[in-house]
Amino acid sequence: MLTRTPATLDALLRDLPEAWTMRNEGGNSWSAFDVVGHLIHGERTDWIPRAKMILEFGENRAFEPFDRLAQERESRGKSLGDLLDEFTRARAENLTELKGLKLRPEDLERRGRHPSLGVVTLSELLATWAAHDLTHLHQISRIMAHQYREAVGPWSKFLGVMQCAGHSAAG
């Protein structure tokens, strides 16, 4: 599952008109472009660094909190194509690094400390890495559908995605 997200986002988003990729759901909400930047930041600072912290420090040291606004700085001046390339590269590197950890089944039960959730296991962290991809694919499809909420006319009441209130992101 983790290997697939870069290709999925590439097929969905690359070279699409900016009306789909740069618009958000109003206010401070994110565009698809912002979401891809957030996924890159997760690759750099969240999943593998936290897995290593669990292996090294266990419950003794809490993870760094995840910066949900980092992509505003880090994506500046880049194109969506740049971000999709960067995400593909970063994910591939992290999956190589994950293999390099040579985790044994019993390692998956090792415990770490989340700054707000408390004790979590390595297994939960790795499952969340995959589910985090899905939550953002869910969000991107909703952001894109939002751009068509007027265009579909009366059909909007049949389109579940148009009724989705959004539900915040993971960290």
Q: Which residues bind a second copy (CB under 8 A)?
A: 1, 4, 7-8, 10-12, 16, 20, 114, 117-118, 120-121, 123-124, 127-128, 130-132, 134-135, 137-139, 141-142, 144-145, 148, 151-155, 158-164, 166-171
Report, in Å, the least distance between residue 160 CB and a second copy.
3
Of 78 and 171, CB closest to a second copy = 171
Helix (H) or strand (E) holding 131: helix 122-146
Choose between 102 and 157: whose C-beta lies nearer to a second copy.
157
Nearest approach in angstroms of CB 127 to a second copy is 4
CA 31 to CA 109: how far, in whole Å? 36
Nearer to a second copy, 77 or 167 (CB): 167
Structure letter (DSSP) for residue 88: H
* 3-class secondary-structure state, position 101: coil
Q: Which residue reads 């420090």 in tokens?
A: 57
**CB of 107: closest distance to a second copy in angstroms?**
16
Query: What minimum distance in Å lies between the beta carbon of 16 and a second copy?
Result: 7
Pick 101 or 134: Cβ nearer a second copy: 134
In DSSP notation, 11-76 reads HHHTT--HHHHT--SSTTPPPHHHHHHHHHHHHHHTHHHHHHHHHHHGGGSBPPPP-TTHHHHHTT
